[in-house]
Amino acid sequence: MTVSLTADDWPIAASMLSFGSAPRSGDPAERGRWRDDLQEVADAGFTEIDLTDSWLPFGDLTDEQTRLLRETIDEAGVSAVSLSAIRRSVIDEEHGDDHLAFAHRTLDRAAELGVGVVSFGLHRALTDEQRKQLWFWTVAGHRDRDADEVRSLAASRFRELGRHAAEVGVLLSLELYEHTLLGSAASAVRLVEEIDLDVVGLNPDIGNLIRLHEPVEHWRDIVEATMPYANFWHVKNYSRDEDAVAGWFSAVPSYLENGLIDYRSSVKIALASGFQGVICTEHYGGDGLSMSAANRDYLRTRVLPRRPVEVGRSRVRQHYPEGRNR
């Protein structure tokens, strides 16, 4: 199969992660903040954005707020091609039901905003101890129990969300994240196979796994195992050093081209696996938007194919409905 996307038109979205939390009432003053943030992304050369819900809680927006947001996005001249909903695990022992309801509302809002793919995960809110650190991943947070009843609940709830996603015409993607049921390549693949819907795939955010200050899977093993199921992709990188004998590990954010993960090789593996989805650039620390723009340029000028190439066959749907997330 020949992929029609090339370096020139591959959708590469800027994450809104670096903009913090924006007000959501939609009154003129607060809507100005939306406009300023989106214009800043456009000025950095992005034509696509990822609506990260740490910026706005999309599942809690009213009809009017949603309408105003879509107008503001259009005015900024960017396209909302993806939405990332984070830190609201649907298997949370205390808040899981509420998070599931929020996820359903998020899918509806995503469809209304013209988004083609929505990413969910099983990661929880940061603990107080994690918030005290320079880099939150240096302190362990919540760990999912890998028990049959927990895995069954996760598969059931994501299957429910997947069916809803199909009804409203979006893809659903599950983000790899440390110490959850999506915290290793094998566990993530097992979960998406248990869900068994072609509109539900993986978001192989490899950076979330290799940044841990502990032994980690090799990045290539993660890429090769998860890419056949990928329908969306958060990309970021970390410089990592370790002395396994002494039990010493360190990781800090870096440019895509400088870190541990070889994204040139990763993209080749992705293409061989049939990946044709949205790529979202993320970064923690410093000028996250400029880092994301530099990473976008690296992908466009040195990594993504310059002309249509033969790709493999994906295990999950890549575009739904046709062309929506492109």
CB atoms under 10 Å from CB of 222, counted, come to: 23
pLDDT at 130 over 50: yes
Each residue's pLDDT tens digit, 264-292: 999 999 999 999 999 999 999 999 999 99
Q: Indicate the number of domains in the chain.
A: 1
Query: In the predicted model, what is the mean pLDDT of the chain?
Result: 94
Residue 244 domain flag: yes
| Assigned domain for 145 exists | yes
Domain-located, residue 92: yes
In this predicted structure, the answer to whether residue 297 has a pLDDT above a threshold of 70 is yes
Give yes or no for residue 326 having a pLDDT over 60: no
Average pLDDT value for residue range 221-230:
98
Whether 322 is in a domain gets the answer no
Range of the domain at 61: 12-303
Q: For the chain, what percent of residues have pLDDT higher than 70?
A: 96
Positive or negative, the CA dihedral 120, 122, 128, 133 is: negative
pLDDT in tens, 168-183: 999 999 999 999 999 9
Say if 257 falls within a structural domain: yes
* Cβ atoms of residues 182 and 175 within 8 Å: yes
Beta strand spans in the chain (E): 12-15, 48-52, 79-84, 117-120, 171-175, 200-203, 232-235, 237-243, 248-254, 278-281
Residue 291 domain flag: yes
Please give the pLDDT value at position 320: 63
| Confidence (pTM) | 0.96
Nearest to 319 by CA among 52, 115, 103: 115
Instruction: Provide the CATH number for the domain around residue 174.
Output: 3.20.20.150
Q: Is 155 inside any structural domain?
A: yes
Task: Count the Cβ atoms, other than its own, within 10 Å of residue 293.
Answer: 20
Q: Is residue 315 in some structural domain?
A: no
Average pLDDT over residues 223-245: 97
How far is Cα 230 from Cα 317, in angstroms, rounded to an integer? 9
